[in-house]
C-alpha cells in the first residue's frame, strides 16, 4: 500500500484518476459510432427561456467540478440574470478515470491529454473531443429544447483554452449555428500553445521569422501548426482553416502574471518554446501574428491585471465576465469566494 501511494505521488497531477465524475451524461453519436461523456449542467432554472449557453472546458486535470464552480462564481458575481444562462461543463475522461470509478463501457476515454488537441478517444469508439463539442453545440442550437437561445459560448482556461482554440479552427459548427440564428463565440484564456498557419514564429518586437526545421523538426505539426492534422479535420487545407478561424468570434484573455517560464503545467516542448517563454508572451505574440496577417482582425485580446494561472482569477474579473456573458455584463461582486477554483 505504501509503495502504491508513493508511486502515485510522483506521477504528474494530471496522470492520477479524477476525484469527481459528473453525474450527467451527454450522448455523442456519429457514423463512426457512439459513446457518452460526463456532463455538469447548471444555471437557468427555466432552460426554455435561456438566451445564452456557456460551455466551460476544464484543464489538463480534468477537474470539471472545479470549472463548474468557477463559472458559477463568475455568473453569481455578474450583473447578468442567472435565469438567462445555461452552464455546461463536459468532462473528457482518461482511461484511468473510467477504470478507477468503474464506469460503464460506453464512456469515451482518452490518453491523458490527447483530448486537448482534438484527437480520437482510445475507446469505446474513435470519436474526437471535437465531436463531443459538436454534439453539445447541436444539443443547444438544434434540438428545439432552447427556443430563446441566441448565443453559445465555448470557453476554456489553460488546457481547456487549447480545446476551444483548436475547435474554433477545425470545426464548422459556427456556420451551422448561424443558419439557425445562433451565434457561436469562443473565449480562450491562458493556453500553453497556439496553432500557427505557416512556418513563421515570433522573435522580438512583434517580428516573425521562419524556423529552422533541423532545430525542431515537428514545430509545425498539429497541435502547434497545420501539418499532420487529426482525423477530425478531414482533408481541409491550412489556408481554408485560417480563413475559417479569422472569421470566428474569438476573445483572448491573458493574465499579466501568467509569466512564469518554469510553471509546472507549462508546455516546454521544442514546438511550444518557439512560441515564447511563457503563456503571457505566447498569447501576445500570437495575437500580433494574426494582426500581421489580417490587419482588420476583429478578435479581441484583453489582459487581466494581477491574474496568474488561475481560471477563477481570469473569469471572475471584469474582462472575464464580459467575455463569458456579453459586452454589457458587469462584475458587481468584487470579492467572490476563490476557494476550490479552477487552476490548470
257: domain range?
Answer: 2-325
Asked, for residue 260, whether it belongs to a domain, the answer is yes
- What's the domain count of the chain? 1
Asked, for residue 330, whether it belongs to a domain, the answer is no
pTM of this structure: 0.95
Asked, for residue 344, whether it belongs to a domain, the answer is no
Q: What is the pLDDT of residue 2?
A: 47
In this predicted model, what pLDDT tens digit does every residue of 26-64 receive, in sequence order? 999 999 999 999 999 999 999 999 999 999 999 999 999
Asked, for residue 335, whether it belongs to a domain, the answer is no
Q: What is the pLDDT of residue 340?
A: 54
Q: What is the pLDDT of residue 9?
A: 63
CATH number of the domain enclosing 297? 3.40.50.1820
Q: Are 23 and 132 in contact (CB under 8 A)?
A: no
Instruction: Show pLDDT as tens, one digit a residue, over the chain (344 residues).
Output: 444 544 556 788 899 999 999 999 999 999 999 999 999 999 999 999 999 999 999 999 999 999 999 999 999 999 999 999 999 999 999 999 999 999 999 999 999 999 999 999 999 999 999 999 999 999 999 878 899 999 999 999 999 999 999 999 999 999 999 999 999 999 999 999 999 999 999 997 779 999 999 999 999 999 999 999 999 999 999 999 999 999 999 999 999 999 999 999 999 999 999 999 999 999 999 999 999 999 999 999 999 999 999 999 999 999 999 999 999 999 997 654 444 566 67
Q: Return the bridge partners of 109, or none.
A: 123
Asked, for residue 74, whether it belongs to a domain, the answer is yes
Asked, for residue 227, whether it belongs to a domain, the answer is yes
Amino acid at each position: 500500500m505504501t509503495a502504491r501511494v508513493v508511486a502515485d505521488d510522483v506521477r504528474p497531477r494530471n496522470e492520477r484518476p479524477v476525484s469527481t465524475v459528473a453525474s450527467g451524461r451527454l450522448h455523442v453519436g456519429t457514423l463512426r459510432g457512439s459513446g457518452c461523456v460526463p456532463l455538469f449542467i447548471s444555471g437557468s432554472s427555466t432552460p426554455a427561456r435561456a438566451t445564452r449557453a456557456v460551455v466551460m472546458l476544464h484543464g489538463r486535470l480534468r477537474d470539471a467540478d472545479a470549472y463548474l464552480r468557477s463559472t458559477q462564481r463568475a455568473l453569481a458575481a455578474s450583473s447578468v440574470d442567472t435565469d438567462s444562462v445555461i452552464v455546461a461543463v463536459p468532462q473528457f475522461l482518461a482511461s484511468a478515470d473510467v477504470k478507477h470509478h468503474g464506469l460503464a463501457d460506453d464512456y469515451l476515454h482518452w490518453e491523458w491529454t490527447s483530448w486537448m488537441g482534438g484527437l480520437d478517444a482510445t475507446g469505446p469508439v474513435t470519436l474526437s473531443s471535437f465531436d463531443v463539442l459538436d454534439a453539445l453545440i447541436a444539443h443547444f442550437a438544434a434540438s428545439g429544447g432552447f427556443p430563446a437561445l441566441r448565443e453559445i459560448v465555448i470557453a476554456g482556461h489553460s488546457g481547456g483554452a487549447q480545446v476551444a482554440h483548436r475547435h474554433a479552427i477545425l470545426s464548422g459548427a459556427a456556420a451551422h449555428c448561424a443558419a439557425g440564428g445562433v451565434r457561436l463565440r469562443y473565449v480562450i484564456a491562458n493556453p500553453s500553445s497556439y496553432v500557427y498557419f505557416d512556418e513563421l514564429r515570433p522573435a522580438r518586437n512583434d517580428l516573425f521569422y521562419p524556423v529552422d526545421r533541423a532545430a525542431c523538426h515537428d514545430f509545425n505539426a498539429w497541435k502547434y501548426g497545420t501539418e499532420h492534422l487529426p482525423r477530425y479535420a478531414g482533408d481541409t487545407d491550412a489556408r481554408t482553416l485560417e480563413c475559417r478561424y479569422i472569421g470566428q468570434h474569438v476573445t483572448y484573455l491573458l493574465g499579466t502574471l501568467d509569466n512564469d517560464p518554469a510553471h509546472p503545467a507549462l508546455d516546454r516542448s521544442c514546438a511550444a518554446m518557439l512560441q515564447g517563454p511563457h503563456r503571457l508572451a505566447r498569447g501576445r505574440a500570437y495575437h500580433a501574428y494574426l494582426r500581421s496577417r489580417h490587419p482588420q482582425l476583429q478578435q479581441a485580446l484583453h489582459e487581466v491585471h494581477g491574474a496568474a494561472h488561475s481560471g477563477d482569477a481570469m473569469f471572475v474579473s471584469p474582462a472575464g465576465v464580459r467575455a463569458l456573458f456579453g459586452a454589457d455584463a458587469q462584475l458587481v461582486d468584487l470579492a467572490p469566494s476563490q476557494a476550490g477554483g479552477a487552476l490548470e
